[in-house]
């Protein structure tokens, strides 16, 4: 499953990083604690969070995550968007809650 597939199926807004829409999604990780994601996520995972500042992109790049999904209608800050475009890691968004998005994402990508 590619980032563009979940963008379509979950009807997510694309904020930035469109060049990474073909990134392969290997799983998901849900957390708003940056050290938790840093320590425990795996490369290729889609990260669901409500954080919007630039450090989420630093983590996504360092951990080689496939994309970030921002919940509850929050919007990424400009620096976050710039880094996402630069690194080709898409930032997607939804008005739905973490619970809903994670449930839908799980249904889509579970093996």
Partner 1 sequence: MSNAITLNYHIEGSDFINAGNASSQIKKVLQQLNVDPKTIKRIVVALYEAEVNVVAHAYKGDISAEITTEDITITLDDEGPGIVDIDMAMTEGYSTASPKVREMGFGAGMGLPNIKRNVDELNIQSEVKVGTKVVMKVKLS
**Residues of the shown chain interacting with partner 1 in the complex, contacts defined by CB under 8 A:** 32-36, 38-39, 43, 49, 51, 53-55, 58-59, 61-63, 79
| Nearest to partner 1 of 1, 38 (CB atom) | 38
Place of tokens 């496939």: 66
- Intra-chain end-to-end CA distance of the chain, in Å: 11
CB of 109 to partner 1, least distance (A): 22
DSSP string, 28-46: EEE-S-HHHHHHH--TTEE
| Nearest to partner 1 of 51, 102 (CB atom) | 51
d(CA 83, CA 88): 8
CB of 78 to partner 1, least distance (A): 11
CB of 66 to partner 1, least distance (A): 16
């Amino acid at each position: 499953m590619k980032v563009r597939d979940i963008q379509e199926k979950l009807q997510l807004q694309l904020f930035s990083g469109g060049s990474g829409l073909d990134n392969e999604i290997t799983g998901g990780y849900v957390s708003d604690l940056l050290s938790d994601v840093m320590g425990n996520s795996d490369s290729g995972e889609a990260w669901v969070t409500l954080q919007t500042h630039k450090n989420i992109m630093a983590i996504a790049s360092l951990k080689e995550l496939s994309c970030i999904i921002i919940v509850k209608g929050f919007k990424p800050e400009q620096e976050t968007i710039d880094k996402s475009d630069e690194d080709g890691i898409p930032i997607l968004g939804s008005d739905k809650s973490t619970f809903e998005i994670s449930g839908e994402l799980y249904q889509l990508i579970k093996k």
